[in-house]
Structures are given as C-alpha cells and as structure tokens.
Amino acid sequence: MSEHVLVVGGGVIGLLTAYNLAAHVDRVTLIDRSAVGQESSWAGGGIVSPLYPWRYSPAVTALAHWSQDFYPQLGQRLAAETGIDPEVHTTGLYWLDLEDEAEALAWAQRNHRPLAAVDISSTYAAVPVLGAGFERAIYMADVANVRNPRLVKALKAALNALPNVMVREYCEVQDFVLDGQRVIGVHSVQGELLADEVVLTAGAWSGELLQTLGVGLPVEPVKGQMILYKYAADFLPSMVLAKGRYAIPRRDGHILIGSTLEHAGFDKTPTQEALDSLMASAVDLLPALADATPVRQWAGLRPGSPEGVPFIGPLPRHPGLWLNCGHYRNGLVLAPASCRLLVDLMVGRDAVIDPAPYAPQDRIDL
C-alpha cells in the first residue's frame, strides 16, 4: 500500500476513512475547508438506521446492516481511546401510521430484522408523552442513535493521538494536481499538497471538486433544518417518527426534531418557515413540547445522490483518486461500512461487502 494518503474532507466519512487507513499506510493527512465535522456530520440527527429502511435499495441496506451491527463496538473503542463517549444510545424506534406498513413488515421478514407491528395501546403505554390520535405503529427495538457531535470529537481526538496522522483544518481545496491523468495531490489555500493516493470525502462539495477534472458526479447539496429542545432526561424513552418527522432523545434530556428536505444550493440559513413547521411537528408528536421553547435551530447540507447510494472506490480515468461520498441522508448510518469497504479496496484485501453497486466508473459521467 502507498505510503502517504491525502483525505479531502473531514466529516465523519473522512475522519473514519483516515482512522481506518492509519493502520495500513505510513502517513495520512486529512484536510477540511473549515473545522472538521462541522457540516452534515454535525447537523444530522444521528439515528443509526435509514428513516425508512425498506424504501432503499439492497445496496444501501447492505451498508446499513453492517454499520448498525458495528456501531456499539466503535463507540466503546473510541470512548476507551479518547475518553469521549459518542453515546451510542439504543432506544428503539416507533414508526406511526405508515402508508406502506405492509411493505415495511415484508422487508423486515426478508432481511431478518426485528421490526414488527405493535398494538397502539402498548405504544402509548411505552411512550406516554406521545400525541393523541395515532392508530397504528411498528417498532424496531435495537435501533440506536449516536450523538454525532461527540462522535466527531472522538474521531478527531483519536486521529490527533496517532503519530502518523496529520489533521489540517481551514485548508480549502481548489483543484487537483495531475501528472498526466494521475492525481498526485491537490492545490489548496495552504499551498500544493502531494500524496501517493487521494481520497475524496467532501460530502456535498464532492461534485464541485470533481467538476475541476471534468467529471460529472451527481452529488448535490440538499438542505435539512432541525430544532432542539431541552427537557427532563427521562421524558422520551424511544425515538418516534410520523409523517416524515422524527423526535430523537439524547441521554441528558435533549430532544432533536427533524428535518426538512430543501433544494436551496449551498445556502444553510435557518428559516422562520422551517422553525414553524418543525415546532408544529414537535407538538403533534409530543404535545408537552408546546410549553417549551426550542433552544437551537440549525441547517446542514446533505450530499444528495441518485437513490442515496454512495460512490465508493477508485476513479479509473484518474488513477490515484478514490471516492467515498454521496451518502445523502445516511452518512452517519453508513459510515462504518463505507469506510471499511473503501480501505478494503485500497489495501487489496477481501471486501467486507460486495463493492460492485458503489463502483464510481459504472455510475458517473466520465
């Protein structure tokens, strides 16, 4: 394996890619246009499941299942190494009044996932703060959420503790350095940075960077807004989801409500319209929140991609360049499997998951 790898983009995908690579190469440099983990990795809710897993292709399902099974040990390992607990918090998830409940249950049976219909009275007994009027529920007991800002902090601390890893923040990339067609580095605001291999993990900005090579990667920013409440630590015992909106409990009583889905370019400005809509959803789900005021509102940019299937693997037209991007709404969910798969491919070991569905050369305009 090559001796120096440059990872462009310091979200959870980039951080975990660098963390996995460090055991196999002499040197890893990770760069980010701002501080690491400040974009969609920070902004998301951190549910360790796609919101509606049965609506995705087998390609997303394969990554999600591997990651879900791996997350508890990842959280424990990072907490032990850094003293920062990412809080992988298993609460289960209730889906309420689904239109496609039959499809969800059939998917669960095919994929051997513990998702089942539950009596609505038992749902209200388990989640007594739930709003009135819901008629049907399905429940998956083993769904966790991860406190994504803490996951980012833990990964950054783990990288900073490794002697062969350098993290360079506020190092925006303008384009790539080429030797013929081979990518040998990047031009950045901190100057030219050269490496044996370059990995692009720049989230919503990945498509723009590949445009500088004349490569049309169908990854675009999709804005999502969320709000946060602070309530009693035992207020909400489980995650709940209805009408496309969800409530996620943290261990300390914070409740996240999300999220919007907006095509607004790279604009991350929170809006009053979204605040009103999210507060209305919060009260529908959890009426007690009518007496509370959100303590925060924010927006992030998801890396939208066709069918939410990420691009993972080499770009044959430009040797030396690897992609791990385009995870859309599921970057946190899919990160452990995606980063393991990429490193498997880079170091030439047996892939943990069939890499074919994610191969860039079969899916983009070269």
**Confidence category of residue 150, pLDDT binned at 50, 70, 90:** very high
Q: What are the tens digits of pLDDT across the range 33-60?
A: 999 999 999 999 999 999 999 999 999 9
CA distance linking residue 105 with residue 113, whole number of Å: 9
**1, pLDDT greater than 80:** no
Percent of all residues in the chain with a pLDDT value above 70, rounded to a whole number: 99
Residues 236 and 324 in one domain: no
Give the domain extent around 36.
Answer: 4-45+150-219+306-362
Q: Report the pLDDT value the prediction gives residue 8, as an integer from 0 to 100.
A: 98
56 within a domain of the structure (yes/no): no
Domains in the chain, number: 2
312 within a domain of the structure (yes/no): yes
Residues 227 and 137 in one domain: yes
Q: Report the pLDDT value the prediction gives residue 52, as an integer from 0 to 100.
A: 96
Boundary-marking domain end, from 263, 288, 304: 304
Burial class from Cβ neighbours inside 10 Å (0-12, 13-18, 19+) for residue 263 reads exposed
Residues 131 and 154 in one domain: no
The secondary structure of residue 279, as a DSSP letter, is H
Residues 158 and 23 in one domain: yes
Boundary-marking domain end, from 263, 289, 304: 304
81 within a domain of the structure (yes/no): no
Q: What is the mean pLDDT of the chain?
A: 96
DSSP string, 138-151: EEETT-EE--HHHH
Residues 134 and 14 in one domain: no
**Confidence category of residue 123, pLDDT binned at 50, 70, 90:** very high
314 within a domain of the structure (yes/no): yes
Pick the residue with more confidence: 136 or 363? 136
Q: φ and ψ at 248, to 5 degrees?
A: -120, 120
Residues 207 and 191 in one domain: yes
164 within a domain of the structure (yes/no): yes
User: What number is the average pLDDT over the span 88-109?
Assistant: 96
67 within a domain of the structure (yes/no): no
Instruction: Residue 341: name the closest of 361, 366, 323 by CA.
Output: 323
Residues 104 and 225 in one domain: yes
Q: Report the pLDDT value the prediction gives residue 364, as an integer from 0 to 100.
A: 84
Q: Report the pLDDT value the prediction gives residue 2, as an integer from 0 to 100.
A: 65
**365, pLDDT greater than 90:** no
User: What number is the average pLDDT over the span 69-89?
Assistant: 96
CB atoms within 10 A of CB 54: 21
50 within a domain of the structure (yes/no): no
Whether the pTM exceeds 0.75: the reply is yes
What is the domain-level CATH number for residue 280?
Answer: 3.30.9.10
Q: Are 167 and 30 in contact (CB under 8 A)?
A: yes
**215, pLDDT greater than 80:** yes
